[in-house]
């Protein structure tokens, strides 16, 4: 299921005990927001390729229980018969976890498409069915070069758009989708609307996702003045 970026960011420059976690993902299949992105105040996880609804929530539960990301991913991989066809990456406060099943080798050997990963200190990009590694590089570069004073939701959408403009998913399906999922302990209730956005079926999911954010932002700014 195409490509995703997961990030962790300190919520205070002078304190490393509290983090916001985010996931952005897009794919050439419908409904990716249901299966792939999961966040909590303890970490973030994205599950891809031939994923299953139970995998992400289970890793998220492990992170909530204090299990490190690398150990949480390993525990789930060892407990499921889906492991060969899974691509997973996760972040917690201390570590990063990553898994690529051998089934991805078989699929990509039969096509001109590629899969892979990129990682930095506080972020990770992973993808499959991509036209080139430029997708991974462009996604990571867009995130790391962005102005960190801007909302994480905006930066995740722009990172996904950069990856898509670099070629994105190599499959030609009409029912595409995209999603962002963010947990930010410093965000007030009125600001949570932009931390969980989804476009489930569209030919232009990233454009739609950005428009959805901008429309909602405009509404909330107007409403807050009236309230």
pLDDT in tens, 148-166: 999 999 999 999 999 999 9
Q: pLDDT tier at 187 (50, 70, 90 boundaries)?
A: confident
Cβ atoms of 130 and 102 closer than 8 Å: no
State if pTM tops 0.95: no
Share of the chain above pLDDT 90, in %: 68
**What's the confidence (pLDDT) of residue 1?**
54
Q: pLDDT tier at 14 (50, 70, 90 boundaries)?
A: low
pLDDT in tens, 62-77: 999 999 999 999 999 9
3-state secondary structure of 49: strand
Q: Is the pLDDT of residue 19 over 70?
A: yes
Looking at domain 3-226, does it have CATH number 2.60.120.280?
no
Burial class (CB in 10 A: 0-12, 13-18, 19+), 225: exposed
**What's the confidence (pLDDT) of residue 171?**
75
What does the pLDDT average to over 117-143? 95
Query: 66's torsion region: left (phi>0), alpha (psi -120 to 50) or beta?
Result: left
């Amino acid at each position: 299921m195409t490509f995703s970026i997961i990030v962790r960011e300190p919520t205070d420059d002078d304190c490393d005990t509290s983090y916001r976690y985010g996931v952005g993902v897009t794919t050439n299949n419908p409904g990716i927001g249901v299966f792939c992105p999961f966040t909590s105040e303890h970490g973030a996880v994205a599950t891809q390729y031939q994923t299953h609804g139970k995998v992400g929530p289970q890793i998220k539960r492990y992170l909530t229980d204090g299990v490190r990301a690398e150990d949480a991913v390993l525990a789930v991989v060892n407990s499921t018969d889906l492991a060969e066809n899974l691509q997973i990456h996760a972040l917690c406060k201390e570590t990063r976890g990553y898994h690529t099943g051998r089934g991805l080798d078989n699929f990509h050997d039969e096509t001109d498409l590629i899969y892979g990963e990129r990682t930095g200190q506080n972020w990770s990009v992973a993808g499959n069915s991509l036209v080139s590694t430029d997708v991974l590089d462009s996604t990571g570069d867009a995130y790391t070069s962005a102005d960190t004073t801007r909302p994480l939701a905006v930066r995740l959408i722009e990172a996904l758009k950069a990856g898509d403009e670099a070629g994105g998913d190599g499959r030609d399906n009409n029912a595409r989708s995209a999603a962002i999922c963010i947990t930010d302990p410093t965000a007030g209730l009125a600001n949570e609307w932009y931390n969980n956005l989804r476009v489930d079926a569209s030919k232009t999911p990233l454009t739609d996702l950005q428009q959805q954010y901008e429309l909602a932002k405009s509404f909330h700014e107007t409403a807050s003045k009236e309230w």
